[in-house]
Chain A
Amino acid sequence: MLDKRLSLDAVVDRLSDGMTLGIGGWATRRKPMALVRAIARSNLKDLTLVAPYGGPDVGLLAASGKIKKLVFAFCSLDHYPLDPHFRAGRQSNAFEVRELDEGLAQWSLRAGAMRLPFLPTRVGLGTDVPVEAGMKTITSPYEDGEVLLAAPAIRMDAALIHVHRADEKGNVLILSPDPFFDDLIARAADEVFVSTEKLVSTAELDMAANARFNPFERSVVTGVVETPFGAHPTGAGPDYGIDLEHLKTYAASATPETWADYKARFVDVSPQDYLDAVGGAERVGALPPPVY
């Protein structure tokens, strides 16, 4: 009987210094924040973070001094466009960066997921992105002879993905209307740790009705950890929305004093104390969907 259940700390124990770690989700949506906070509390260091569609996951790990190198296309809190910790880290050269276009990251992840060395694309040509990253071009071997960018594969040692439902075997459901590129991030990683809003039985996944919300098969998944409200303060619609009020508090925590205060209240605490500190299950469960 397959049983991939792990605790938060057990997942962190499976990670190691200097590894390349991928994070799913998108800016302020479905980020595996409970796992990110557990990493922030740990002794892990020198991570190469592959967070192409970055949000407070990047900022929190930057503020915690965990990032040696960041691979990304943007880092945003969406409603508050710039993450202050990401900005501070970047402006003080606290970590190296490899900056990619959103679609170029998609293509590099796809190459990694397909075990290819690269995939050809036009994305990035004519800009500073491939020049800075040392990427090479390739000429089409067919009659068109077009010069294309060879988007190099991204492979990760491990990836963290937040889902809505999972069983102990690693069958998962992402119920939100947009799965983003979590499937590619998962397939391009050697090990995949999934945090889930609810751990349920296989029957309760109701795959006959929900198959289209199943982003990848269980062989992709290494471990499953149940983390109710584990995406907070990012949203995990339809279960709960983005906590704009908390993001405002987070965005205002960029000075040494305010960061120490934020860290003490919201990072260096157990998941239950965190939930209490942000208003409890009832409040978070009732957070409305975002309005644009």
Chain B
Amino acid sequence: MLVKRKTAFFSRFYLFEIILGLWITIRKFFSRKVTIQYPEQRRRYSERFRGQHYIKATNGVENCTACMLCPTVCPSECIHIEAGERPDKEKYPVKFEIDILRCCFCGMCEEACPKDAIKLSTIYEMSSARRPVYDKAFLLEQRGNK
């Protein structure tokens, strides 16, 4: 049912409401800004921020032993590892690939890792023109601020 609302004659001009609305705009115009000039200015992120992955290395040898706990725990199944053997290390990842488009950055791989090998850095600029699959060489490069 259509109810006809009775409005006062003065209110029908909405003049008071317009002034009220504009007042907020004007006030915010002169107050402190929340946006930043992104490429030039950067925000400091928390140390716990979960960004681009990397594999930690000790004395130039990757910490990873290819135990496959990260692909096991990964909810989006984006980690692919092939294990192998070499003289100085009983088990190491021959292939370690992260299909970053599938990754949901939950950080469970980091949590599951018994060797402190796979970690998430604070790097968040990961856009790419082609489908990015991070291989072992890329992941072994130490980036970020961890």
A binds B: no
B interface residue numbers (CB < 8 A to A): none
